[in-house]
Structure 1
Amino acid sequence: MVNMTTMTTAAATSTAMLTDHYELTMLRAALADGTAHHQAVFEAFARRLPDGRRYGVVAGLGRIVEAIESFTFDTHRVAWLLDTGVIDGHTADHLLGYQFTGNIDAYREGDIYFPNSPVLTVSGTFAECVILETLILSILNHDSAIASAAARMVSAADGRPLLEMGSRRTNESAAVAAARAAYLAGFASTSNLQAGFQYGVPTRGTAAHAFTLGHTSEREAFASQVAALGTGTTLLVDTYDIPQGIRTAVEAAGTNLGGIRLDSGDLGDEARRARALLDSLGATSTKISVTSDLDEYTIAALADAPVDLYGAGTRLVGGSGHPTAGMVYKLVAVADEPGPYAPMRPVAKKATSKGSVGGRKVAYRSLDHQGHATREVVVVRHLPGAPETGPGRALQVAVIRDGHVVHHPSLAEIRAHHRGAKAELTALDLDLAPGTPRLVADPTALGNLIGAGA
């Protein structure tokens, strides 16, 4: 009899099945013909940014590392793969002993990327690298898309704090990842408790309309909330009539009421009227929070309104708010025989509009005297005369060496790195209007040393 407790525990810890069917059929064939044991290099990059975007933000690297550490196959998974015909016995034996022992280099999490930036490089045997494709891309694409959208909202907020509150607009796992990605890009907090528990993202929240509707009157609901949470709480005042709700809120909490939240109507006009009314009631220190399908454009439109905090959810975690980063995972170099020191040859896809450039690449970002990025320089290592270093700061760091994690930044350090990387952008890069990237990393432009920029 199968031990369901054991299966449940394994399901909660292993990431091995978070992949596509064809990863294992490729592995099966490569094991049969010997290619599995040849050294290989894969790169993750985006050929282009989503329409209108001028830059992207790298996010998810920490989660990728966690996922790779948990990428192991137990007997239950292997038995299922055998039963369904995905793998054969030889592949089953290989998977039961699988553990990533290769190397990963990547842009630091929170850094800025552009089209063709070599964001992440995986090297090792073909067998151990090829089956990580789906796992890496599912995390990198999702988290980078969220962080890129969040960074634009942070720019629009211009120093005012943002609360991530998208949990109810996506699935439960994506909600946690989205909260982490938004926080590293500059959001101040999240409504998601698992993100706080798992990653240390600050959490906050008070009450929804249901709490008010669940009492016989707005006055009773506010009094209850203040009694439980104190006068520093934030009261949701738009369940019925906003002006009356504000008056009732101040009556319940006094002039030291922490804040009110507006979730409907013309938020700019409502915030201005609310500020005037609060001030007339003596609640001059009460903060005004606004929510309701905010994105970078609506936040920017509220720049002149007396808003103290923005809550963003649907447009941050929903598909329209975070168009996919579109990153791909491509083989760029491979050996033709087994062995760690076998010579490697560059390989590249040649298909129209989906081509790639062969050879392992590293990147550098050149800055001007004001600290603004001027070029993304890419060095293709396989070309004759390729320099060992390039101008500017090196963009890739060692993340995993021989299967061991060597890069352990805290979330606070990632946030700080993002602030520094974003400060290298110009006002043109940060413009919210649809545009094209000012910088493009183009490994085909000048051969072995490439500088692309304005």
Structure 2
Amino acid sequence: MNVGDLGLPVAVPSTALFTDQYELTMLQAALRSGTADRRSVFEVFTRRLPEGRRYGVVGGTGRVLDAVENFRFDETILGFLRERGILDGPTLDWLADYRFRGDIWGYPEGEVYFPGSPIMRVEGTFAEAVLLETVILSILNHDSAVAAAASRMSVAAGERPLMEMGARRTHELSAVAAARAAYVGGFHSTSDLAAGFRYNIPTVGTSAHAFTLLHDTERDAFTAQVDTLGSGTTLLVDTFDVAEAVRTAVEVAGPGLGAVRIDSGDLLLIAHRVRQQLDELGATHTKIVVTSDLDEYAIASLAAAPVDAYGVGTQLVTGSGHPTCSMVYKLVARADRDEPGAPLRPVAKKSMGAKSSAGGRKWAARRLDGSGVAEAEVVGTGPVPAELAERVLQVPLVSGGTVVAREPLEAARDRHMAARAGLPLSATQLSRGEPVLPTDFV
């Protein structure tokens, strides 16, 4: 959900310059050669998952829809292109009226994907579709990487809540997108207020070490926080001596203290000691929150610890070592002439090595075994087999230039949980391995 869904005003800037210059120079050359209006089909896919990952997560679809809708060349943008001498007059005139009027299909946000999955398909004239390449890839590569990392962390955390806290570890705009993608992948809240405002994600936050150091004593800091936020607040207890801080925290807030946060040290050992101390002090319902540069492996190592929630920053917003998904945007079919009804013919890059691609307008479906568990990702260019007709993964996203698939962010989050649950059990292993489903091309 975005602020528009909440009835709140928001400025929506043009996304037209979130592109590479060669998209525009290709447009100009196609207009001159008379090929710009040929009906074309582009597909987004990845040839491989990040090393060791068993599945990918589609993130950013909702942001792609916003970007396509706001891809407009206003007078300021056209003036910039004119002053730089990037494009000629006829191309600038063409861009002044640009609106994407084609169709987009794709895996719905939160769905899982595998190598070769046609995650998104963009159809229209070459001119209108080629311009969207960079912005679509920018969004999907970033958000899907964060969503995949979040999903793995969600698996490791089990039922324990996860808080996204990575705003200070990435670009300010990326931080908002990362919080959104993390929520799709299974996180429960964010510390980033811009993400909370824009996407209605629950927000959290209390205090940092600076607040403790500001006061003359740790007791003064705890008292100020409890007086302001109530005894249900979370007190940070590792600024000096953890055991002394926990004792002081319970004395100040009482046994109804909401939580204590640990941000350094041997988290497994300290969590056990803090839990024992809290129980001895009568604070049996006080929760323990841990932070301190966690990733999915650190979270998994704390599974047996008396930890109630995790806060994750750097590793999450950087995709836990894989900040991109290596998705590409390739022309897979095009007409031989510019008449609207001209038939499409497959085209594909045939370079040597791993960068070749398969031509043709593709569908994708997920085949299940006799127990209803996914066993293969099936991708084809011909008719969809009858037994897979109800399992086709792509849905309409944009029809005739109009967005038709907006949904609350919660829907994408729920979809991901369902999709992940439908994979073989080995999908949730954190150890390195091959994709949990093969991709069968038919």
TM-score, with normalisation over the residues of structure 2? 0.95
Aligned runs of 1:190-229 on 2, under 5 Å? 190-229=190-229
1:283 aligns with 2:283: yes
Alpha-carbon distance between aligned partners in 1 of 2:131 and 2:207, rounded to the nearest angstrom: 45
Cα displacement string for residues 52-77 of structure 1 (whole angstroms, at most 9, x for unaligned residues)? 10100001000000011110001111
Cα displacement string for residues 75-95 of structure 1 (whole angstroms, at most 9, x for unaligned residues)? 111111111121110110011
Alpha-carbon distance between aligned partners in 2 of 1:284 and 1:328, rounded to the nearest angstrom: 52
Match of 1:366 in 2: 367
Match of 1:434 in 2: 432
Alpha-carbon distance between aligned partners in 1 of 2:47 and 2:435, rounded to the nearest angstrom: 12
Letter in 2 for 1:362: W
Aligned runs of 1:59-74 on 2, under 5 Å? 59-74=59-74
Structure 1 contact 314–321 (Cα < 8 Å) conserved: no
Aligned runs of 1:235-314 on 2, under 5 Å? 235-314=235-314
Letter in 2 for 1:38: R
Match of 1:136 in 2: 136
Letter in 2 for 1:166: G
Match of 1:419 in 2: 417
Structure 2 contact 365–388 (Cα < 8 Å) conserved: yes
Match of 1:409 in 2: 407
Alpha-carbon distance between aligned partners in 1 of 2:49 and 2:173, rounded to the nearest angstrom: 25
Match of 1:166 in 2: 166
Q: CA deviation at 1:369?
A: 3.4
Cα displacement string for residues 112-152 of structure 1 (whole angstroms, at most 9, x for unaligned residues)? 00000000000000000001000000000000000000000
Q: CA deviation at 1:332?
A: 0.2
Match of 2:83 in 1: 83
Structure 2 contact 142–323 (Cα < 8 Å) conserved: no
Match of 2:7 in 1: none
Determine helix, strand or coil for the equivalent of 1:353: helix
For residues 11 and 188 of structure 1, do their structure 2 counterparts lie closer, same or farther at Cα, with a shift above 3 Å needed? closer
Letter in 1 for 2:141: N
Alpha-carbon distance between aligned partners in 2 of 1:208 and 1:413, rounded to the nearest angstrom: 33
Q: CA deviation at 1:185?
A: 1.1
Alpha-carbon distance between aligned partners in 2 of 1:199 and 1:409, rounded to the nearest angstrom: 11
Match of 2:327 in 1: 327
Alpha-carbon distance between aligned partners in 1 of 2:372 and 2:217, rounded to the nearest angstrom: 57
Structure 1 contact 365–392 (Cα < 8 Å) conserved: no
Alpha-carbon distance between aligned partners in 1 of 2:319 and 2:258, rounded to the nearest angstrom: 34
Alpha-carbon distance between aligned partners in 2 of 1:250 and 1:144, rounded to the nearest angstrom: 42
Alpha-carbon distance between aligned partners in 1 of 2:182 and 2:251, rounded to the nearest angstrom: 36
Q: CA deviation at 1:438?
A: 2.6
Alpha-carbon distance between aligned partners in 2 of 1:309 and 1:124, rounded to the nearest angstrom: 47
Alpha-carbon distance between aligned partners in 1 of 2:85 and 2:116, rounded to the nearest angstrom: 37
Match of 1:355 in 2: 356
Q: CA deviation at 1:377?
A: 1.3
Structure 1 contact 367–424 (Cα < 8 Å) conserved: no
Determine helix, strand or coil for the equivalent of 2:245: helix
Q: CA deviation at 1:405?
A: 1.0
Determine helix, strand or coil for the equivalent of 2:437: coil
Structure 2 contact 376–440 (Cα < 8 Å) conserved: no
Alpha-carbon distance between aligned partners in 2 of 1:195 and 1:322, rounded to the nearest angstrom: 22
Determine helix, strand or coil for the equivalent of 2:244: helix
Alpha-carbon distance between aligned partners in 2 of 1:41 and 1:389, rounded to the nearest angstrom: 26
Structure 2 contact 149–319 (Cα < 8 Å) conserved: no
Determine helix, strand or coil for the equivalent of 2:367: strand
Alpha-carbon distance between aligned partners in 2 of 1:392 and 1:116, rounded to the nearest angstrom: 20
Determine helix, strand or coil for the equivalent of 2:439: coil
For residues 153 and 386 of structure 1, do their structure 2 counterparts lie closer, same or farther at Cα, with a shift above 3 Å needed? closer
Q: Which runs of 4+ in 1 moved over 6 A?
A: none
Determine helix, strand or coil for the equivalent of 1:338: coil
Determine helix, strand or coil for the equivalent of 1:371: coil
Q: CA deviation at 1:361?
A: 0.3
RMSD: 1.4
Range with bigger deviation, 24-33 or 431-440: 431-440
Match of 2:99 in 1: 99
TM-score, with normalisation over the residues of structure 1? 0.93
Alpha-carbon distance between aligned partners in 1 of 2:192 and 2:105, rounded to the nearest angstrom: 31
Match of 1:447 in 2: none
Unmatched tracts of structure 1, length 5 or more: 1-9, 444-449
Match of 2:336 in 1: 336
Alpha-carbon distance between aligned partners in 2 of 1:394 and 1:410, rounded to the nearest angstrom: 22
